[in-house]
Structure 1
Amino acid sequence: MKTEPDRKADLIPVATAGTLSGLFRERVARTPDLTAYRQFDEIRGHWSSLTWGEMAERVGCWQRALSNLTLAPGARVAVQLRNCVEWVGYEQAALALGLVVVPLYPNDSPGNIAYILADSGSQALFVGSLNQWRMLESWRSAFPELRQVICLEDAACADARFEPAPNVVCAADWLTREGSVPADHDADPSDLATLVYTSGTTGRPKGVMLSHRNILWNAAAQLETVPTYHDDILLSFLPLSHAFERTLGYYLPMMAGSCVVYARSLQTLGEDLMTIRPTALISVPRVYEKAYVRIQAKLAQEGRIARALFRKAVAIGWRRFLAGQGRAADLGFADRILWRLLRPLVADKVLARLGGRLRIAISGAAPLSEPVARCFIGLGLNLLEGYGLTEASPTIAGNRTEDNVPGSAGLPIPGAEVRFAANGELLARSPGVMLGYWKRPEETRQAVDPDGWLHTGDIAEMREGRIYIRGRIKDILVMSSGEKLAAGDLERIITADPLFDQALVVGEGKPFVTALLVLEPEAWKSLARELSSDPADPRTLQERRVKRVVIERLAHLLRDFPAHAQIRRVQLLLTPWTVDHGLVTPTMKVKREEVLQRYKTEVDALYAGHAIAM
């Protein structure tokens, strides 16, 4: 078994890699026979693997095919594909040719995709399915620079009636396996590598320009805080089009030589966790929160003894965690005995649903609810929260295994500096800060000042060297009384309750706080039956006694918040806010302005008469 120094020797330094394509070449040269990627083969019905050496052959095929387009270095090529080895093969080939990759969310709207293709001037597009391209065809005039469309799906198999245009080809037919692989472009680490369009909770997305050095530096800094090795197995399910997954779930494992397994879908994530049994997991808070809600819902159906045992296990596990962090005394004899009993009886059974051998789990892209973190950590999961944004490539701060304070974003990663503006905005400076926004010099100057400080747009504070995020500047609601409210803090507490699937707190310029609440269907049915109401009747959601019960429940959840933050009116909904409806981002963040616009009539009704409705 390798020692710690031996395992660290497998890591590829930034200087050795030079560029992102250089990192791939170096990994192939060092460990050609190690398993690099696994994914499910739908045709054969089993999981298939590729070594680094085999992956290099696949990248060579893509490199030969892309070179036939004779695109000049710096030309943009887009990819709208779910996570898979073909995504990696296409990108690595493009980077080796000096091209700039534009990742697109697989389930983004055609209008938004068309805008990004036009804004970036992309000349090639790799899509996963024929249907994705068909949905874009009506927007074709918006992006005239596009020359080639490659479809992973075999068009003939998908629809025998389909007659592809000359510039639409099936990947299997287009890839050439003959001839030599073109020489790699001699890229500089400071060259533009990718345009990552922010999913944006407001306004049109902006193309964040990230260099090879930006991403490599960030991945290396993360490896210093979260050691990862070539014997780790990471299950990847967040979109590779998101900077969080791209750096931590793609380039960091490549730097360490770890194996990445691509989950089949979010719907099958539970099954894939049990099958793959990963040692590392990267996710957004919503996934952990939904798992927490399912646990709470299951406990509600079980007896008092089961609930009591669960609460006891979490409480003892939490004290055990604090003792291990040096922030509390060691467990007493009775608690140690109880933990030996409760761990296999309670904790291990929950963690088994995550595969049973997770060494580390990371949460990022948004703050994680503290009760959720406390629950999983109490059960023994090494759950670390971090903070960053696309413009920083993306990580700025993170907790460490040996210094983990749930509820905080942790310490700045090595090499990153932070400070605070007069209004409490967090500023950051590091080699990971973007080159700028694509074709938006004025907005770039607003985001990055002359001294290189990135204005994050987040209100934060620092205590004992750790960063605590208090919300987006745009999400700080100023009530008509002058009181200020961090809407995100309330929304995280609310959605940790099994009854509430989604929440949006309203109060900007208003005399009191209200909320739009999307109810979890099964929890709603249970509550309606308790109240002897018909859950299938939409009018039940408007009953005063139902709303009274919900408001009382909210008051209990928000009991630690000041009086002006208490929610006094609610609009109850059953239709979830989705990406398809344009109401959440692909990383499941609610688009505040879009939701408020969509439900303007309902919000106006909440404030009609300025009286407390009960």
Structure 2
Amino acid sequence: MSPRARSGTAAGAPDVIAPETAGTLAGLLRERARRSPEAPAYRHFDRGAGAWRTLTWADAAREAGRWQAALAREGLAPGERVALMCRNRPEWMLFDMAAQALGLVVVPLYAEDRSDSAAWIIEHSGARLLLVEEAAQWTRLAAVRERLRGLKRIVTLEPVAREDPRVRWIGRWLDGADGPFEPAALDPHALATIVYTSGTTGRPKGVMLSHHNILWNAAASLRAVPALPEDLFLSFLPLSHTFERTVGYYLPVMAGSCVAYARSIRELAEDLATVRPTVLVTVPRIFERVRRRLEEQLRARPALARHLFRAAAEVGWAHFQHAQHRRGWSPALAAWPALHLLVAARVLERLGGRLRAAICGGAPLPPELGHLFIGLGVPILQGYGLTEHSPVISVNRAEDNVPESVGEPLPGVEVRIGPHEELLVRSPSVMLGYWRDPEATRRAIDRDGWLHTGDQARIERGHVFITGRLKDVIVLATGEKVPPADMEMAILEDALFEQVMVVGEQRPYLVAVCVLDPDGWRRLAAGLGLDPDDPASLADPRAERAVVERIGRCLHAFPGYAEVRRAVLTLEPWTVEDGLLTPTLKPRRQRIEARHAEAIAACYAGH
């Protein structure tokens, strides 16, 4: 008998736990373990054994009971804050569920965050207990130990040198802890978590979300894009980010779907092939990486292979448009079955070959990128959300997918366009407010309960189109205003550019800071008679002129004043680990500008 049969759920039938039934986030796990005890819940890779392991829902609840008992021994009162600094793995879920069961408030930290940033969040939130994953994290935090005096206990998943009496290895901390998983009877509208927004500028704000905020959002998301007990999610975006946490963690518990934790981003391609997920929660950057690998491989293939790839993408896009009832049939569509077999199926196989939904958010999906992968049969559904909305606001539906848009609002979410074309949102998912910042809360949520997103938008035929950011505008010294994000998206269509950031606030013209693709740089340098291995070649005027010329071609559709006149070239990528990208891979503009300040200043010398 299959696990699904033992759980009492017919194959293919939804088994969604209503927010009212769960009551709280911990109530989700209790109810799921009751309904589907023997069904697979989580898969993770055991590096010691070199094999994937599976936990059932009963296993998860039983282990969460141990963690709940260990946490209870710490004597923390409901409402006190506990923090965790951990990659996606079962222990993240166990700590979170155990804390929620006791009425504690969970403060997630990005696993690779810098010590000063993590210390600030721990201080600001008033966290009393911290879970860290590995010795390297504790070593980083030890440098700011004086700022962690508010912590009563520090639990580590790996043994570390015990220079601090508060530190306990998880084995010792859990020793003797036993008991059932018993979530306390809590007010669903009570504070459940404080999520610090990974802002691109300044200190992050602590977004306060209740149990009901998140449960309502997950339930509304399931009404828009259903998930089934047979679905398998692959979790690789940081659980410290609300997008992954709601859609890739709580939503699968609500639906009874299994979640497999990817080993790392570096091993993601292999994990996709091994795990073979049916659902991905992803960001555009992942598809950009796949596209670049495909382009690199195609350059080494015969001209016929390159022609077939382009034909598959173009005919596949036409096939998608026809299936969406946006264009009629044409003879070219007759070639789709063969092109799918020869080209598209091989691309889909790289993603596991079973994908039925790729929920894409966190950053805008460039239209050309969406067209390419949807044309190749990847079921991308672009959505949109904010941490302040728990987070999902809108998403495309499979039967009405307009990839250039961020879809229709979730059922029960109200949207309207306010002054300056700002998108305003109202629903039960709107946050309680910002932690210890009532003034910022008043600015974000007006007296009628509308959340001011800060994003500009238009609404056409029920679909939301994000058109800009109120504050994300460069004002040149001439007074002209340019949208850097749109320009950067256009520049990144050229495979020469891995990453790019346009600067020029109150300057006479624009400068592009460019991280170049190594292979593309070698070809460009060779064509200019430059040594690609000599760092000085990146500063050669010939290289800069060639790059600026290519940028100009990318920006042909922009106004004349939106012209990039100078460029800073580098081969060193911006990463989350060095603090230049947010956990969802958005550029931290101020930090990147500071990193390249000298080179940028040289571009404006004499002006």
TM-score by length of 2: 0.96
Q: Which of 366, 370, 374 is 1:369 aligned to?
A: 366
Deviation readout 1:228-259 (Å, 9 max, x if unpaired) = 10100000000100000000000110110000
Aligned-partner Cα distance in 2 for 1:536–1:516: 20
Partner of 1:451: 448
After superposition, the Cα gap between the structure-2 partners of 1:568 and 1:323, relative to the gap in structure 1 and judged at 3 Å, is same
Which AA in structure 2 matches 1:269?
A: L
Partner of 2:526: 529
2:130 aligned with 1:122, yes or no? no
Partner of 1:584: 581
**Greater alpha carbon shift after TM alignment, 70-79 vs 479-488:** 479-488
2:29 aligned with 1:30, yes or no? no
2:460 aligned with 1:463, yes or no? yes
Would the aligned equivalents of 1:320 and 1:331 in 2 still touch at CA under 8 Å?
no
Would the aligned equivalents of 2:406 and 2:465 in 1 still touch at CA under 8 Å?
yes
2:82 aligned with 1:77, yes or no? yes
Q: Which of 113, 117, 121 is 1:112 aligned to?
A: 117
Partner of 1:508: 505
Partner of 2:185: 186
Would the aligned equivalents of 1:289 and 1:496 in 2 still touch at CA under 8 Å?
no
Aligned-partner Cα distance in 2 for 1:34–1:181: 19
Secondary structure of the residue that 2:420 maps to in structure 1? coil
Which AA in structure 2 matches 1:510?
A: R
Aligned-partner Cα distance in 2 for 1:195–1:585: 17
After superposition, the Cα gap between the structure-2 partners of 1:33 and 1:48, relative to the gap in structure 1 and judged at 3 Å, is same
**Greater alpha carbon shift after TM alignment, 466-475 vs 29-38:** 466-475
Secondary structure of the residue that 1:50 maps to in structure 2? strand
Equivalenced residue count is 602
Which AA in structure 2 matches 1:236?
A: S
Aligned-partner Cα distance in 1 for 2:125–2:485: 32
Partner of 1:555: 552
Aligned-partner Cα distance in 1 for 2:144–2:535: 37
**What's the offset of the Cα at 1:164?**
4.5
Aligned-partner Cα distance in 2 for 1:582–1:183: 39
Would the aligned equivalents of 1:61 and 1:176 in 2 still touch at CA under 8 Å?
no
**What's the offset of the Cα at 1:328?**
0.4
Would the aligned equivalents of 2:66 and 2:181 in 1 still touch at CA under 8 Å?
no
After superposition, the Cα gap between the structure-2 partners of 1:550 and 1:578, relative to the gap in structure 1 and judged at 3 Å, is same
Which AA in structure 2 matches 1:281?
A: L
Which AA in structure 1 matches 2:292?
A: V
Secondary structure of the residue that 1:292 maps to in structure 2? helix
**What's the offset of the Cα at 1:383?**
0.4
**What's the offset of the Cα at 1:297?**
2.3
Which AA in structure 2 matches 1:81?
A: C
Partner of 2:389: 392
Q: Which of 339, 343, 348 is 2:345 aligned to?
A: 348
Secondary structure of the residue that 1:496 maps to in structure 2? coil
Which AA in structure 1 matches 2:17?
A: I
Secondary structure of the residue that 1:294 maps to in structure 2? helix
Partner of 1:159: none
2:393 aligned with 1:409, yes or no? no
Equivalent residues in 2 for 1:321-340, closer than 5 Å: 321-332=320-331, 334-336=332-334, 338-340=335-337
Secondary structure of the residue that 1:362 maps to in structure 2? strand
CA RMSD of superposed structures (Å): 1.8
Partner of 2:306: 307
Secondary structure of the residue that 2:561 maps to in structure 1? helix
Aligned-partner Cα distance in 2 for 1:465–1:483: 32
Partner of 2:280: 281
Deviation readout 1:510-561 (Å, 9 max, x if unpaired) = 3332211011222212221232210111221122222222122222222222
**What's the offset of the Cα at 1:478?**
2.1
Aligned-partner Cα distance in 1 for 2:330–2:274: 35
Aligned-partner Cα distance in 1 for 2:263–2:432: 34
**What's the offset of the Cα at 1:349?**
0.8
**What's the offset of the Cα at 1:479?**
2.3
Secondary structure of the residue that 2:471 maps to in structure 1? helix
Would the aligned equivalents of 2:41 and 2:259 in 1 still touch at CA under 8 Å?
yes
Deviation readout 1:328-359 (Å, 9 max, x if unpaired) = 01242x531x2122111111111111111101
2:431 aligned with 1:434, yes or no? yes
Partner of 1:101: 106
**Greater alpha carbon shift after TM alignment, 419-428 vs 388-397:** 419-428
2:316 aligned with 1:317, yes or no? yes
Which AA in structure 2 matches 1:197?
A: Y
Equivalent residues in 2 for 1:128-167, closer than 5 Å: 128-155=133-160, 162-167=161-166
After superposition, the Cα gap between the structure-2 partners of 1:331 and 1:277, relative to the gap in structure 1 and judged at 3 Å, is farther
Would the aligned equivalents of 1:292 and 1:496 in 2 still touch at CA under 8 Å?
no
Which AA in structure 2 matches 1:335?
A: L
Aligned-partner Cα distance in 1 for 2:441–2:554: 40
TM-score by length of 1: 0.95
Would the aligned equivalents of 2:41 and 2:60 in 1 still touch at CA under 8 Å?
yes
2:219 aligned with 1:220, yes or no? yes
Which AA in structure 2 matches 1:65?
A: A
**What's the offset of the Cα at 1:144?**
1.8
**What's the offset of the Cα at 1:8?**
5.0
Which AA in structure 1 matches 2:298?
A: L
Aligned-partner Cα distance in 1 for 2:181–2:380: 44
Aligned-partner Cα distance in 1 for 2:41–2:518: 40
2:248 aligned with 1:243, yes or no? no
Which AA in structure 2 matches 1:386?
A: G
Aligned-partner Cα distance in 2 for 1:491–1:301: 28
Aligned-partner Cα distance in 2 for 1:51–1:360: 24
Aligned-partner Cα distance in 2 for 1:321–1:563: 35
Deviation readout 1:457-495 (Å, 9 max, x if unpaired) = 112222222211123222112223333221111112222
Aligned-partner Cα distance in 2 for 1:444–1:533: 54
Aligned-partner Cα distance in 1 for 2:480–2:10: 54
Partner of 1:60: 65
- The percent of aligned pairs where both chains have the same amino acid is 50
**What's the offset of the Cα at 1:580?**
3.4
Aligned-partner Cα distance in 2 for 1:9–1:538: 57
Aligned-partner Cα distance in 1 for 2:225–2:560: 40
Partner of 2:378: 381
After superposition, the Cα gap between the structure-2 partners of 1:564 and 1:300, relative to the gap in structure 1 and judged at 3 Å, is farther
**What's the offset of the Cα at 1:177?**
4.9
Would the aligned equivalents of 1:64 and 1:176 in 2 still touch at CA under 8 Å?
no
After superposition, the Cα gap between the structure-2 partners of 1:473 and 1:373, relative to the gap in structure 1 and judged at 3 Å, is same
**What's the offset of the Cα at 1:32?**
0.4
Would the aligned equivalents of 1:80 and 1:104 in 2 still touch at CA under 8 Å?
yes
Deviation readout 1:292-331 (Å, 9 max, x if unpaired) = 1222222223232211111111110000000111100124
Would the aligned equivalents of 1:294 and 1:498 in 2 still touch at CA under 8 Å?
no
Would the aligned equivalents of 1:471 and 1:487 in 2 still touch at CA under 8 Å?
no
After superposition, the Cα gap between the structure-2 partners of 1:177 and 1:325, relative to the gap in structure 1 and judged at 3 Å, is farther
**What's the offset of the Cα at 1:77?**
0.5
